[in-house]
Amino acid sequence: MDGGNQSEGSEFLLLGMSESPEQQQILFWMFLVMYLVTVVGNVLIILAISSDSRLHTPMYFFLANLSFTDLFFVTNTIPKMLVNLQSQNKAISYAGCLTQLYFLVSLVALDNLILAVMAYDRYVAICCPLHYTTAMSPKLCILLLSLCWVLSVLYGLIHTILMTRVTFCGSRKIHYIFCEMYVLLRMACSNIQINHTVLIATGCFIFLIPFGFVIISYVLIIRAILRIPSVSKKYKAFSTCASHLGAVSLFYGTLCMVYLKPLHTFSVKDSVATVMYAVVTPMMNPFIYSLRNKDMHGALGRLLDKHFKRLT
């Protein structure tokens, strides 16, 4: 297929992680349960934060947006995957594949940027507590979130537009759970040097710089915590950022498993690692942020209590 007609009537086949009917049934129920848990968990986080005035702080403002991003992220990929697992027709149109790719790339970048902003929020809260209210004003929080969205949208647009220049030939079978950037580039039969170069350049800007910022923030946070004389106050200070640190470790750890390797070495085996960052991470975030968070426990309890009282 030439570059001129690749968007007209062309399709890819999303074969997923297995072509065995028995394994597909197991995968269907596994991903369905994970999807429902992810949706319920993140919706509860959003509702708890929005309905409780005690959680109207910068940290929970960014957490609610992180939950919204995770919710959008899994909805972009898992429903189509569930349909494919139950259907004989596993086709996805060229336009549908690019749409899925755009939201996938944009939302991963947005997740990354929000985590970096949350690291800054924790740095200010622990290292400059007296200036926290003024430093993390509502106006600045909205500005930071808007910047995250703008950069993510542009990042997704750049790579999606570049993908429209790629010519695909040969097999259209994608042994993956969704239209993933590396997989599509490996299927290309045209020159992808520009795509690869831009991917590295923009990836360094969107991912490595924020990751470096997160590392520096936590180095300063740990240094500030170690200077606190009281053991109980040290524990209290660390507990305020432990959830975020856990989410950061899970996000970057799974992302590195997939993308911290040359393009030519990318294979079907990486689909398991992809499931970790595409499905497991969004599912685990609500548990990470609410497991040992008394404020979140209280807000969720009040939310559910209010809901059950309406039913009775």
**How many CB atoms within 10 Å of residue 254?**
20
Cβ-contact 31, 85 below 8 angstroms: yes
Q: What is the DSSP letter of 179?
A: -
The residue among 33, 58, 59, 40 whose CA lies nearest residue 303 is 40
Residue among 255, 263, 259, 260 nearest 186 (CA): 263
CATH of 21-304, one of 1.20.1070.10, 3.90.79.10, 3.90.25.10, 3.90.180.10: 1.20.1070.10
pLDDT, one tens digit per residue, over 228-249 is: 888 888 887 788 788 888 888 8
Taking Cα atoms as reference points, which of 57, 171, 176 lies closest to residue 118?
Answer: 57
Domain locations in the chain as residue ranges = 21-304
pLDDT in tens, 118-150: 999 999 999 888 889 899 999 999 999 999 999
Q: Is the dihedral of CA 302, 299, 71, 23 positive or negative?
A: negative
Report the candidate in 117, 94, 242 with the shortest Cα–Cα distance to residue 168. Answer: 94
Closest CA to 145 of 117, 105, 165: 117
pLDDT exceeds cutoff 80 at 98: yes
3-state secondary structure of 1: coil
* CA proximity to 296, closest of 261, 244, 253: 244
pTM of the prediction?
A: 0.88
3-state secondary structure of 168: strand
